[in-house]
Amino acid sequence: MTLQDWYWRPIVIALSIALLSWLLRGAWKRLTALFATVRKVDEALPKLVQMAAELQPNGGGSVRDKIDGIVRKLEFQAAARRTLADVSTPIAFYECDAAGRCTYVSQRWTEITGLSNAEAEGFGWLGGIHRDDREAVEKEWKAAVEQKREFDLAYRMVDRHGNETLVHGQARMFRDEAGRYIGAIGYNSVIGQPES
């Protein structure tokens, strides 16, 4: 090894150590700054949650109050619409959710089947269909819901006493503004009493 090698080697080592130290110091500073930021966010989170709960848009009430108010208004409108339909039309009608489960039946529908709104909910409405027609109605209903198409079928409804009513059932599937299927509204027009 020459004298020049001995001369440059410590300089290269010293410079390497200085460079490594400088790089590590920068990484440490960045890491320390990151932890400080995380700590600040963690400390601020309860305050942000409290502020969100107390947020008063449009001059009053929290966001939760506004949402609850909108829900109450929509529920009232739905009840008013159903009541108006019940008193103004002799047609038996019903509403269903996106899965085809019954959510409401009209007063006339209840008169024909003898089933209450609570009994008709979900797939309880099938209890108001004549046992000989039930399988065909259920199959066609499920196909209409799955394919998101209209339901159209004539069949017999029956009450608890066995009184039959021949109906033409129709339902239209509805979508929201985004095109998502949201449910169906249908009706049963009375055709007459089946021949014995």
Whole-angstrom distance, CA of residue 113 vs CA of residue 147: 27
pLDDT tens-digit series, residues 92-112 = 888 899 999 999 898 888 989
pLDDT tens sequence across 43-95: 666 776 676 666 655 555 666 777 777 777 766 666 666 665 665 566 788 88
pTM above 0.85, yes or no: no
The pair of three-digit structure tokens given for residue 33, joined into one six-digit string:
């700054």
Long-range contacts (CB closer than 8 Å, 24 or more residues apart) made by 67-72: none
User: Are 62 and 55 in contact, with CB atoms under 8 Å apart?
Assistant: yes
